[in-house]
Amino acid sequence: MNSHRPTFIQTVLFLTTCFTTLMAGAMMEGVIPWETPERILEGLPFAGSLMTILLTHEMGHYIMSRRHGTPASLPYFIPAPSMIGTFGAVIKMQSRILDRRALLDIGAAGPLAGFIVSIVASAVGLAQSEVLPVAGEMPDGSIQLGDSLIFKLLSYAVLGVDPSDSTVLLHPVAFAGWIGLLVTALNLIPVGQLDGGHICYALFGDEKHGIISNTAIPVLIALGVLFWPGWLVWGLLLIFLGRKHPPVVLPFITLDAHRRRIGWISLGVFILTFMPVPFSGF
């Protein structure tokens, strides 16, 4: 397969995901697309923001893969009948990664690029969001969103409020940014072949990666029992997907100081974006 041109199925999945996220965004605006299809473009702010975040994340991986001569597919987007219209996107690595330098670059590029775009979307959207007092009634069907450290900081900077002390009705662009931050956290969990697993393997090697990966799984399961059931599902899924990481071709090549800094910055981004209870109030 030519990794530099989209296949038919990748094109169809991308266009379908554009449509499903557009539908989701329109419904956030109170539009029922099958009743008033002429209003579907009201979902464009959400869909455009979310698709840009996901595309930036995956292209970060893809560009770094090409830079290091590691064959990789263009992104496969996953449309879904969910409240956001998608289950994300993935790229497929088509060969083993040469060394830990390439692994760090490829693993970190996606979440860091997506993180930056998510911050921009969150800030722009927060500036258009509505702040209610704590006593204010939430609209019917509203979902309470959790706050990561970075989203709290952005709320302070843009709105001058602490989300835990006020009710913020997020603009769809801010919601897309919030989802982007959650996606960043999920990808940076240091398990198996997630982006966080790639980074941990590159930083610490095979043995320590195994220890970290095997420790993170029960932590996720405990978080699922104590805080949010979604973590339990995620932990069980990661057990199924595998906790081990395939070796690089040249394991004796170590990271330079710059790449080590990038690795630690990526782990710091994980701390900034992680939230024990992403959703509540269903």
Nearest C-alpha neighbor of 114 from the set 221, 270, 271 = 270
pLDDT value at position 181? Answer: 98
CA 46 → CA 111, 139, 173, 250, distances in Å?
Answer: 20, 19, 5, 43
Q: What is the SS3 assignment for 192?
A: coil
Sole residue written with tokens 């970060």: 60
pTM of structure: 0.94
pLDDT value at position 1? Answer: 43
Sole residue written with tokens 């329109």: 26
Structure tokens at 265: 């910055």
pLDDT value at position 2? Answer: 47
Q: Let me know: does 249 contact 99? Beta carbons within 8 Å.
A: yes
- Work out the burial of residue 123: count CB atoms within 10 Å of its CB; fewer than 13 is exposed, 13-18 middle, 19 or more buried: middle
Q: In terms of DSSP H, where are the helices of the chain?
A: 8-28, 44-67, 100-126, 149-159, 172-187, 195-226, 229-241, 257-273
Q: How far apart are CA 208 and CA 225, in angstroms?
A: 26
Show pLDDT as tens, one digit a residue, over the chain (282 residues).
Answer: 445 678 999 999 999 999 999 999 999 999 999 999 999 999 999 999 999 999 999 999 999 999 999 999 999 999 999 999 999 999 998 889 999 999 999 999 999 999 999 999 999 999 999 998 765 555 555 678 998 999 999 999 999 987 777 888 999 999 999 999 999 999 999 999 999 999 999 999 999 999 999 999 999 999 999 999 999 999 999 999 888 999 999 999 999 999 999 999 999 999 999 999 998 765
Q: Quote the distance between the C-alpha of residue 210 and its chain's center.
A: 23
Buried b (16+ CB within 10 A) or exposed e, 225-247: eebbeebbebbeebeeeebebee
pLDDT value at position 144? Answer: 85
Sole residue written with tokens 């692994």: 103
pLDDT value at position 280? Answer: 79
Q: In terms of DSSP H, where are the helices of 195-256?
A: 195-226, 229-241
Q: Let me know: does 110 contact 183? Beta carbons within 8 Å.
A: no
Structure tokens at 167: 């009710």
CA 4 → CA 1, 63, 72, distances in Å?
Answer: 9, 10, 8
